[in-house]
Amino acid sequence: MNEVYQSLLTPIIYQWAATHGNAKKGRSSCSLCFCNDHYHASIDFHKDNIIELRIIDKETQESLFYLHFQMKDMKMATENINAFFSFLQDNHTNESNVLSNVATMKDDLRILLSCTSGITTSYFAYLLENAINKCNHNVIVDAVSYTDLDNVQSRYDFIFLAPQISYQYAQMREKYGNKVFMIDSYDFATGNVEHVIQELIEEENER
């Protein structure tokens, strides 16, 4: 990435985020707080263009939304931060009944999730595998760094990329074909696996 462009990313994104309603400076000059009656919500800007998004329930202290990523371009950063703001504005009612349709999926699917290191996708992989297997389906869901995809991708039926590496999507799609998909920022940060399952069901039905 051009060094001048990279040096401008953080201050530009900071100023843009600070224009949103209820924005207040956090404890440090590199953080913004968007707390309300229900949530402790913050955006923290770290060195090396790393942004951390966090929303915690005030009553239960449960982490409801968490995402950290290194900014590679403006589009990636704004999409992830917009997911953060969407959570604060949504009522979080989930009327989807996608899990009732899991029976239409075939058994023995192998699904690979990928991010920068493979660590942040491990928990999402656990949630996804657990949700499908609870419906009496046997699937394998693994997580790996995108740098290792060349070595392992042939073993899997589907590859889902985490929002931290959304800038890699076009290249991965070109290399590995239509088995590559993106995980939505909102879904990834909140641990909502239903949209991923829905994509799996739809893709399986088309094959």
pLDDT digits (tens, 9 = 90+) for 148-165: 999 999 999 999 999 999
Q: Are residues 79 and 120 in the same domain?
A: no
Q: What is the mean pLDDT of the chain?
A: 87
Tell which of 63, 89, 115 closes a domain: 89
What pLDDT score was predicted for residue 95? 47
When pLDDT is averaged across residues 106-135 and rounded to a whole number, the result is 87
Q: Are residues 64 and 104 in the same domain?
A: no
* 18-53: burial string, b at 16+ Cβ within 10 Å, e else: eeeeeeeebeeeebbebbeeebbbbbbbeeebebeb
The total number of structural domains in the chain stands at: 2
What pLDDT score was predicted for residue 108? 80
What pLDDT score was predicted for residue 100? 57
Tell which of 42, 66, 89 closes a domain: 89
Q: Are residues 201 and 103 in the same domain?
A: yes
pLDDT at 134 over 90: no
| pLDDT class of 64 with cuts at 50, 70, 90 | very high
What pLDDT score was predicted for residue 98? 57
Q: Are residues 138 and 178 in the same domain?
A: yes
Most confident of 3-17, 102-116, 125-139: 125-139
Q: Are residues 130 and 84 in the same domain?
A: no
When pLDDT is averaged across residues 181-206 and rounded to a whole number, the result is 88
Query: What is the span of the domain harbouring residue 34?
Result: 3-89
Q: Are residues 127 and 187 in the same domain?
A: yes
Q: Could you give the CA distance from residue 89 to residue 26 in angstroms, rounded to a whole number?
A: 20
Give the H/E segment covering residue 202.
Answer: helix 194-206
When pLDDT is averaged across residues 31-42 and rounded to a whole number, the result is 92
Provide the sign of the torsion angle of the four alpha carbons 50, 73, 169, 67, taken in this order.
Answer: positive
When pLDDT is averaged across residues 174-193 and rounded to a whole number, the result is 94
What pLDDT score was predicted for residue 28? 67
Closest by Cα among 40, 183, 203, 170 to 115: 183
pLDDT at 7 over 50: yes
Q: Are residues 115 and 196 in the same domain?
A: yes
Q: Are residues 104 and 85 in the same domain?
A: no
| pLDDT class of 173 with cuts at 50, 70, 90 | very high
Residues recorded for the chain: 207
pLDDT at 103 over 70: no
149 within a domain of the structure (yes/no): yes
